[in-house]
Amino acid sequence: MPPMMRKIFWFLNKFFMVPMFRLGMGGIMGNPFSGYIMVLKVVGRKSGKLRYAPVNYAIYQGSVWCISGGRKASDWYKNLLANPAIEMIMPGGAIYGQVSEENDPETRRIVIRQVLKNAGFAGFFEGYNPWKIRDEEMHSKIGDIPLLKITPTGIGNSASDPSGWAWISVLVLAILLIVLLIILL
């Protein structure tokens, strides 16, 4: 991905996608064009601070799977290897899980293809069409993409739980409704 495109995604993820998920609006963000996204709550391997990483995902055989588009250079990927216990904010709620890297070639081919299909337009940034590429060609192109399997271990705090941000969107909507009623009356 070109550096400028990477910066645009960083900005949109940090200031739009993460807040939308934290406000409880993640469920309305996913669609076939923009992709299906979850937000990983990752603990920094050096800082120990909580970081948020929006990623495309697929659900396959009872686990949640994601890939690192930045390959092994991505900070969130390195942080997950250092701290594999993770919480994910998914469109339907939050869950805890344990991360492991998958190396089985057949599983990698099936799941990476599905993650790229689920990524919408971003799935094409790898330089090929995940819907049409032949298995042999795909196998040669995905060798350096880390595939992460997240095995669910429990439930997490969703946007509507005490540590969530859903109350903010409800408060803003209530204030807007009151202002609108005052203006109309």
Helix-strand-coil split of the chain, %, nearest 5 = 45, 25, 30
Q: Can you give the pLDDT of all 185 residues of the chain as single tens digits?
A: 567 877 887 888 788 888 888 777 777 777 778 788 899 999 988 998 999 889 989 999 999 999 887 777 788 899 999 999 999 988 888 899 999 999 898 898 889 889 888 888 776 777 777 778 788 777 777 777 889 999 998 877 776 666 677 778 778 888 988 888 888 87
pLDDT at 2: 67
pLDDT at 93: 81
Q: Residue 95 half-sphere exposure, CB side, CA atoms within 13 Å?
A: 15
Structure token pair of residue 40: 């990983």
Residues 6+ positions from 33 with CB-CB distance below 8 Å? 120, 121
pLDDT at 100: 94
Residue 74 DSSP SS3:
coil
pLDDT at 144: 79
pLDDT at 131: 78
- Domains of the chain and any CATH numbers: 3-184 (2.30.110.10)
